[in-house]
Structure 1
């Protein structure tokens, strides 16, 4: 049995770089910083690759510094350097699921409007559970 599963929570290191293909497919690439348990340590950085509808969500709502959670799988991109002819590679997490985790204040600051949740007026007399 083989398992290749990655789950991370961290902050976007830059705005997503988005490409649209003639076929209608969308891909977004960005980096993600994940803090270690010891706050004095430098964060770990991950390259993310997001395809399809999730890529469009990233393009529309993820900005540098956004708190996000992802689930995906690890892959190793390989290519030949055009200048030197050397074999090159870089680790990438191919994202299957993207979660937007920022606070309401973060969302308001980035003009975020999540269409997946309906805004219902709060009734202070009701207990919300």
Structure 2
């Protein structure tokens, strides 16, 4: 039995790129930065692919810097490079569940700048 499950919490690296198809379906693609335990380490970056109603939510509410939680699975996208003719591939997380984390205010601030400090009123504990 194989298990292919990914759970991540991080920040959107850019606004979603949305494509619509004649069939009526849609897909949103974006990147997500996930911090490591040590603040000194660079974050890990993941390519996300979101389909259907979840893609519409991403298109409407996710902006660069938004705090997200996702559950999905890893797939390997493969293609042939048009210039070199070489086979290429990249891992992509196909998102099954998208959660918008943080407050509406947090998401608005993240879309504007990353420099804001939380006040005591915003801390949930």
Structure 1 unpaired stretches of 5+? 111-129
Q: Matched residues in 1 for 2:107 and 2:63: separation?
A: 11
SS of residue matched to 1:78: strand
Per the alignment, residue 4 of structure 2 pairs with: 4
- Counterparts of residues 67-106 of structure 1 (less than 5 Å): 67-106=67-106
Q: Deviations over 1:70-92 (max 9, x none)?
A: 00000110000000000000110
The Cα of 1:102 is off from its aligned counterpart by: 1.9
Q: TM-score, normalised to structure 2's length?
A: 0.85
2:24 matched residue in structure 1:
24
Give the secondary-structure state (helix, strand or coil) at the position aligned to 2:91.
strand
Superposed displacement of residue 106, structure 1:
1.7
**Judging changes above 3 Å, is the alpha-carbon distance between structure 1 residues 96 and 42 closer, same or farther for their aligned structure 2 residues?**
same
User: Structure 2: how far apart are the matches of 1:61 and 1:49?
Assistant: 16
2: CA distance, partners of 1:48 / 1:94: 6
- Aligned equivalents of 1:97, 1:52: Cα separation in 2: 11
Which structure has more helix as a fraction of its residues? 2
Rounded Cα–Cα distance in structure 2 between residues aligned with 1:44 and 1:107: 21
TM-score norm. by structure 1 comes to 0.82
Name 2:116's counterpart in structure 1: none
Larger gyration radius, structure 1 or structure 2: 1
